[in-house]
């Protein structure tokens, strides 16, 4: 590897609310792993009650460890944001998982998901700022389609790094990400 600085590629995985972004990411991660890429970070799978979103958990991509992150049910010591109560321990643990992942120098880091909290300076905003300035060249951030423009502007992300889950087959997205990793390995 030459002394040239690696170009950072942050891909936004976009789709509608409850449109399958986390499921898409799960499938994408498996395809990347099959190609021997190391992937760190976390997913935020949702839970449903009577057909409605009732919460989220935070799941470590490497270990599979999981912690309740958000619920529509009021919970002591959790913080209310819009219609959910958020577990502050999940944000602490998520940041720890990212730091652990970075020690292993992964090919790809995943953040599921970037939303209104982050745009307002809370949630994962500090983690995103840290990752934006890190040496991890390839990152996948999931974001609602209607917020993707604001996220691109706020974090200076290229519009050619948008992967819409309804328009891009997961295998094609995997190939795009693999090429970005290979470009950075060869830089």
Tens digits of residue pLDDT in 104-162: 999 999 999 999 999 999 999 999 999 999 888 899 999 999 999 999 999 999 888 99
pLDDT for the residue numbered 184:
86
Angle, alpha carbons 148-117-30 (nearest 5°): 60
Q: Is the pLDDT of residue 185 over 90?
A: no
pLDDT for the residue numbered 6:
59
CATH for the 9-185 domain, from 3.40.120.10, 3.40.50.920, 3.40.190.10, 3.40.50.300: 3.40.50.300
Query: 93 burial class (0-12, 13-18, 19+ CB within 10 angstroms)?
Result: middle
Q: Is the pLDDT of residue 101 over 90?
A: yes
Angle, alpha carbons 140-179-63 (nearest 5°): 45
Distance (Å) of CA 131 to CA 55, 72, 101, 120, 168? 26, 29, 11, 17, 25
Q: Tens digit of pLDDT for each residue in 19-42?
A: 999 999 999 999 999 999 999 999
Strands 46-49 and 66-71, by their bridges, are unpaired
Q: Tens digit of pLDDT for each residue in 60-95?
A: 999 999 999 999 999 999 999 999 999 999 999 999
How far is 35 from 71, CA to CA, in rounded Å? 36
Q: Is the pLDDT of residue 3 over 50?
A: no
Sketch the domain layout of the chain as residue ranges.
9-185
Q: Of 115, 109, 112, give the one whose Cα is nearest residue 134.
A: 109
pLDDT for the residue numbered 2:
37
Q: Is the pLDDT of residue 4 over 50?
A: no
CB-based contacts of 41: which residues, under 8 Å, 6+ apart? Answer: 61, 97, 98, 101, 106, 108, 109, 110, 111, 112, 140
């Amino acid at each position: 590897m030459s002394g040239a600085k690696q170009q950072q590629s942050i891909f936004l995985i976009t789709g509608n609310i409850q449109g399958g972004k986390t499921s898409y990411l799960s499938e994408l991660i498996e395809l990347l792993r099959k190609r021997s890429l190391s992937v760190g970070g976390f997913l935020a799978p949702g839970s449903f009650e009577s057909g409605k979103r009732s919460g989220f958990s935070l799941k470590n991509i490497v270990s599979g460890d999981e912690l309740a992150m958000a619920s529509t049910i009021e919970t002591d010591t959790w913080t209310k944001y819009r219609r959910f109560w958020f577990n502050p321990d999940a944000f602490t643990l998520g940041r720890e998982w990212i730091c652990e992942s970075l020690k292993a120098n992964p090919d790809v880091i995943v953040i599921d998901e970037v939303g209104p909290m982050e745009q307002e300076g809370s949630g994962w905003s500090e983690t995103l700022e840290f990752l934006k300035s890190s040496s991890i060249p390839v990152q996948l951030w999931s974001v609602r389609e209607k917020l993707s423009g604001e996220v691109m502007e706020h974090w200076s992300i290229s519009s050619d790094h948008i992967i819409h889950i309804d328009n891009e087959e997961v295998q094609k997205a995997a190939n795009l990400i693999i090429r970005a990793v290979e470009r950075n390995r060869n830089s």
